[in-house]
Amino acid sequence: MAAQCTPLLLLACVLALPAPHLTKSIQRLSLFNQSVLNNTVSSLTTLVNGQLWLVNGFNQCSGRVEVWYRNEWGTVCDDSWDMNDASVVCRQLGCGEAVSAPSNAYFGHGSGTIWLDDVNCNGDEELLAQCSMRPWGEHNCGHSEDAGVVCSETTLSPAPGWPKDCSEVPAGSPSGVYIIHPKGLHPIVVYCEMNMTDGGWTVIQRNRQSTEVTWAESWSTYKYGFGNVQTEYWLGTEYIHQISKQKVYQVRFVIWDAANNASFAEYSLFNVEDESQGYRLRLGTYSGSAGDAMASSSPSTMHDNMKFSAKDLDQDTYSGNCASSYGGGWWYSACYSVRLNVKGGMTWGSLCNGNCKASAILIKPTTYC
């Protein structure tokens, strides 16, 4: 097969700081370097506040309005919400004209912070953040009042210059927080690991034994992601699917064992199928030092080719609910040899059973020559 090499795109907003050089044998990845994470905060806050996306809609240009502020996605209250406000949202997203401005959580209840209330646009603004509104975070609403929009277009206009994944961030860029714009999605915020084995890795999960994230979340929360991109987080099963269908990807699982030594498991192919197929996981051939725990020889602990399960949507092969019993969403069979999405007791095969110190899952396109 011919080499598959995508030209690098110019990154509009580089939101990162330098990190040390790393190799396969690293003991600590820059993605767990706290000084890098702390120093990234100010850049991220300055450049990304006010970014929008639409959640739970009929297509990319309809859904519940969510806005990024202070490193967290939050919702907009429907007090005074009208077509002028919806027009600004559609314009900001490149989704054409506003068709309707649904209220009363028409697209489902959000979670977390309600960032905006009493939004009062005149309809001519380029950005929702330019409209008259209460101060950020000040409101008298509940999530039953989350605002939504329906726009005339069904797909987002591409953002010029934004990479589709971290492999399109220019070579030599530092590891850190970046904006990417996967094909068919709104722009999203991710962590790019740029130093390990030639860089270009998109981090879709990371967790630590000391995490404050519960991981025992619902299907919809796993679907759209949670946590803090600067510490522990799940990118979102839907976003992982959308990214993985753009190109042919490989995946690397990095595991820190009980002694805090890093090992890795790499699979030559990585794909997550769409939601109608249960976000089924497909992996290629294993290589690495951590052990082939994702493709266990036992059907009861297999993860390759399994559907994703959460505490409120059981798609495993067990008579019970593995996600509910063991604390987090994952590609369970009946039940696991790998458990990374959990508070505290992470497991990777025989490498560390309930006492792994940390984990990270990274993907990048595979190049065939």
By CB atoms closer than 10 A (0-12, 13-18, 19+), residue 366 is middle
Would you state the pLDDT for residue 185?
Answer: 79
| Distance, CA of 206 to CA of 235 (rounded, Å) | 9
The tens-digit pLDDT sequence of the chain (369 residues) is: 333 332 222 222 223 322 222 233 333 445 554 333 333 333 332 336 888 888 888 888 899 999 988 877 899 999 999 999 999 999 998 899 999 999 999 998 888 799 999 999 999 999 999 999 999 999 999 999 999 999 998 776 655 568 999 999 998 899 988 888 888 777 788 999 999 888 999 999 999 999 999 999 999 999 989 888 888 999 999 999 999 999 999 999 999 999 999 999 999 999 999 999 999 999 999 999 999 999 977 889 999 999 999 999 999 999 999 999 998 999 999 999 999 999 988 999 999 999 999 999 999 999 864
Closest by Cα among 200, 180, 199 to 189: 180
The DSSP element (H or E) to which 87 belongs, if any, is: helix 83-93
Can you give the pTM of this predicted structure? 0.69
Closest by Cα among 56, 119, 128 to 90: 128
| Distance, CA of 334 to CA of 300 (rounded, Å) | 5
Would you state the pLDDT for residue 60?
Answer: 81
Structural Rg of the chain based on CA atoms: 20
CB contact burial 120-135 (16+ within 10 A = b; e otherwise): ebeeebeebbebebbe
Would you state the pLDDT for residue 178?
Answer: 86
Token pair in block for residue 222: 């796993």
